[in-house]
Amino acid sequence: MYRQWSPDDEYLNIDPPPSSVYYNDSVPLNSIYSNGSIQLQYRNEIHKLVAPATVYRTARGMSNISELNLQYNLTWSFPVDPSFTYFVRLHFCEIQPPVNARDNRAFWIYIANRTTGSYTDVIQEAGGNGFPMFKDYLVRIEAEEEKKQLPLFVALRPFQENSAFYNSILNGAEIYKLSRSGSLAGPNPDRPPNPSSPDPSSSPSTSSPTRLILIVAGGVVLGLAVVSLLLFFVFRRKRNSKSSSSYIDGGSASKSMLPYSSFPSTNETSKDGSSNLPSELCRRFSLSEIKSATGFFDDNFIIGVGGFGDVYKGLINFNGGGGATTVAIKRLKQGSQQGANEFRTEIEMLSQLRHRHLVSLIGYCYDDEEMILVYDYMSHGTLRDHLYSKSQQISPSIPWKQRLEICIGAAHGLHYLHSGASNTIIHRDVKTTNILLDENWVAKVSDFGLSKIGPAAGAANAHVSTVVKGSFGYLDPEYYRLQRLTEKSDVYSFGIVLWEVLTARPPLNRAGGNDKRKMVSLAELARQCCKKGRVAEIVDRDLDGEIAPECLKKFAEVAMSCLVEKGVDRPSMGDVVWGLEFAKELQCGSEERVKLLAGGSGGGEGRKSSGGSSMFTTNSEIDLGSGVNGMMVITSGTMTLTSVEESSTNHEYSEDSLLGSNLVFSEILDPKAR
């Protein structure tokens, strides 16, 4: 609360739309809204301390012409020093009486010319009119040649779909400079122009005693400051070398933007024995701590096996008290150089990423040639476990609406990777075993060992030329052929995930007949069924009667668009998020209509009624365009086309019938888990 709040006028940077029929010089492009009588509804006492009530009772908005507001952004430009990370907090509160329901007003938020994720609906997120809320972001401003200050842009743009008012608002903004080096000093300002030289005859011929005293005193103070700094750095170095681990909590502030920086590219150990691996946003554990947490790597603690190595369930006491935290501990197989590269990549990626739908890296261990990663424990395992694996026999089938939520969450996580930093992060290994579910069934994208930094926005090359790595069945055919990796390769893989969720079928399944090496592709099966309007025939039988026909059509449309042959024609992950959320809205709307027709005694949220009847029928025909005549099969790692009729709809799949190790790139020897 001990902060000064100043007007935003000097930071407004609104460019008028070019040649708009709605705009002329007499039309103001921004407005001030004020409601001093509104009773603010805080979620708790802590929120009252976040900002003064006057901040939430006033807001900056756009013009009063809705059509004009769609043609420009409400933009602020804040001058900042480059080469620093900035914490940005934006305050929102709907104070205009007409805006009192969800979808009344929604808008996109852009920070540093990047979207921060999905659109913002203040009424929906805060809880109603007069409910304050704030959003926090971290953004890295990189240096540009010969520029000592750069603009940090914050922009708002109305969300066009389903909004009643095409407008954007902001009640307040806070920007804090963060430092990793212990210094907030920016570049030196430019020297002021030299004043005209004074007339020598008018100046004293000799220096005064006062001036001499000031010069001597200044030299003494400067010398003391230098000595103090040297002592500080020596003390800090000794303290770091004594500690076996250092931990600086990244917190939950970064929800949609991330700090981006470079770490050392080697995995060697420094001369003083400390690792060059990053430890600023995650903790470095000692090997003794890891052994204690896993019972000295007792096999009874193993909860998963993958190409990286074994995954253990462990207990770690972080604060020295009585309560221990359950964690997942992934141990690298000894002697795997590829795994060592993935180990470093995952630390460098996840130590910078903080998002609700990305698995959190707690820390790592790099002692005695052991390479170990420590994550939050995901109690419900992988998404695949609940679709068609052996563990699905003891796990309850996930209802359709929950599957939709899981897909939307995973899509949000991938969208964050693609658009949340100055450079795109391409996951490169999107699959159902890399989508984990926590105790609340919230989806978390995991396993960043194969991830690559993509090109910056506006770069000449929109792809990364790289050796093909990933898992067959999920691999983008264009990436496989051309060895050009883009974020659309993740979109293709996510399309396969969507079809897995809908059909409870693996991405590749062994074909019938004498040749047991042939693998039937789920992608091609989906194309054929969409072409013939027979999508309902391959829907998971556990979902009979749960999916509204219009929701099924929209979901299949989104999933099919992800599998388009050319990457440039596929949707972005932002578009996929929007499409899935729209499918969810269609599902909810259909359920409400069914309940009303049934007199309010429907069979529940998309499940079968107590009498055994289904809420929906799934015999609707869906035609999503043409496909290839024939079924895609894979034989010994090579792709060929052959004429094969649609496979059986039997859902009994054995572990051995899914993917063999000869069909997996890199060292993903067991594609069922990593």
Residues identified as active-site = 429
Q: How far is CA 348 from the centre of its chain?
A: 15
Q: How far apart are the first and last CA of the chain?
A: 47
**Residue type for position 90:** L
User: CB neighbours of 391 closer than 8 A, spacing ≥ 6?
Assistant: 381, 385
How far is Cα 427 from Cα 450, in angstroms, rounded to an integer? 7
**Tokens describing residue 376:** 């939050």
DSSP conformational letter for 355: -
Phi, psi of 469 (to 5 degrees): -140, 150
Q: What is the CA radius of gyration of the chain?
A: 29
Nearest alpha carbon to residue 326 among 380, 263, 365: 380
DSSP conformational letter for 190: P
User: CB neighbours of 671 closer than 8 A, spacing ≥ 6?
Assistant: 307, 431, 433, 471, 472, 658, 659, 661, 663, 664
User: CB neighbours of 615 closer than 8 A, spacing ≥ 6?
Assistant: 545, 546, 591, 594, 602, 603, 604, 606, 607, 608, 609
What are the start-end ranges of the E strands in 159-308?
Answer: 169-170, 172-178, 283-284, 302-305
Pairing outcome for strands 631-635 and 443-445: unpaired
Q: How far is CA 80 from the centre of its chain?
A: 25
Phi, psi of 441 (to 5 degrees): 65, 25
How far is Cα 149 from Cα 79, in angstroms, rounded to an integer? 6
Q: Annotate 125-171 with DSSP letters as a single string.
A: HH-STT--EEEEEEEEE---TT-S-EEEEEEEEE--TT-SS---EE-
**Tokens describing residue 448:** 């960043």
Nearest alpha carbon to residue 378 among 289, 293, 284, 313: 313
Tell whether 330 is in a known binding site: yes
Q: Annotate 577-644 with DSSP letters as a single string.
A: HHHHHHHHHHHHHHHHHHHHHTTT---SSSSPPTTS--SS------------SSEEEEETTEEEEE--
How far is Cα 588 from Cα 603, in angstroms, rounded to an integer? 13
Classified as helix, coil or strand, 113 is: coil
**Tokens describing residue 442:** 């919230």
How far is Cα 358 from Cα 442, in angstroms, rounded to an integer? 10
What is the number of other CB atoms lying within 10 angstroms of the CB of residue 30? 15
Cβ atoms of 328 and 359 closer than 8 Å: no
Give the residue numbers of the binding site for ATP: 330
Give the residue numbers of the binding site: 330
